[in-house]
Amino acid sequence: MLFSFHRPASLRGFIDWHSHLLPGVDDGVQTTADALKILEEYEKTGVREVWFTPHIMEDMPNTPDHLRRRFQRFQEVYTGPVTLHLAAEHMLDPLFEQRLATDDVLPIGPEGNLLLVETSYFNPPIDLYGLLHRIRSQGYFPLLAHPERYVYMDEHDYRKLQALEVRFQLNLPSLVGAYGKEAKQKARWLLKQGMYYCAGTDIHRKEMLAYSLAAAKQGQAFCGLRS
């Protein structure tokens, strides 16, 4: 486990590893003005860094080059103290297979050696473990977004994935029931087992920040990468 938990009523020092704040590229924030408002709230609550992780999937076929251009334009507008980074949330679908084969992906993390990936909430992709192996063979560690939300996964799956060097990213709102009772129970179990590598808000709109703050206020969820 590469992060620590404390008990402040804020997100001071937090690094948000999963957000949909890059405006107008997916189902997240749609306007620059709204993205700036959310970042203003981040400043107030003490968030230190945020990774913009827009979707790349068959239904939202963003390209890394397009996202880099949009991110560069946004960086020219935002002048606040929160450090911004760009990565992507890659759906494990046929489009991902094509992009991975040519290394046309957007890695995450300070060393650029992680790929934030997701699956359907209800069913694993065909040949899930083969996909994960191919990610490793390309030199990346899979970072599985919000594993607590996949209804087809259980304790056995989580342990098997960790044995394959898959990292787990917690959605903070899961800890306060934002995605239902089952996701909450799984998130708290995974947290207790020390299985999470990092955490994020998965924020799509300003109102969602309240869930992450609620988790922090309950002493359940503040986390920042260890130095």
* pLDDT one-digit tens code per residue, 170-214: 999 999 999 999 999 999 999 999 999 999 999 999 999 999 999
* Angstrom distances, CA of residue 18 to CA of 51, 101, 164, 188: 6, 24, 22, 19
Instruction: Look at 75 and 219; give whichever has higher pLDDT.
Output: 75
56 sits in which H/E element:
strand 55-56
Tell me: domain 11-225, CATH 3.20.20.140, correct? yes
- Minimum mean pLDDT among 17-21, 30-34, 62-66, 214-218: which range? 214-218
Whole-number pLDDT of residue 177:
96
Of 107-121, 157-171, 212-226, the least confident? 212-226
Helices (H), the chain: 32-45, 64-77, 94-101, 128-137, 155-163, 181-192, 209-217
Q: What is the pLDDT of residue 219?
A: 58
Instruction: Identify which of 111, 164, 115 has the alpha carbon closest to the alpha carbon of residue 144.
Output: 115
Q: Is the pLDDT of residue 145 over 60?
A: yes
Question: What global pTM score does this model have?
Answer: 0.93
Angle between the 94-101 and 128-137 helix axes, to the nearest 10 degrees?
20
Average pLDDT score over residue span 6-24? 84
3-state SS class at 76: helix
Q: CA-CA distance, 212 to 95, in Å (whole number)?
A: 31
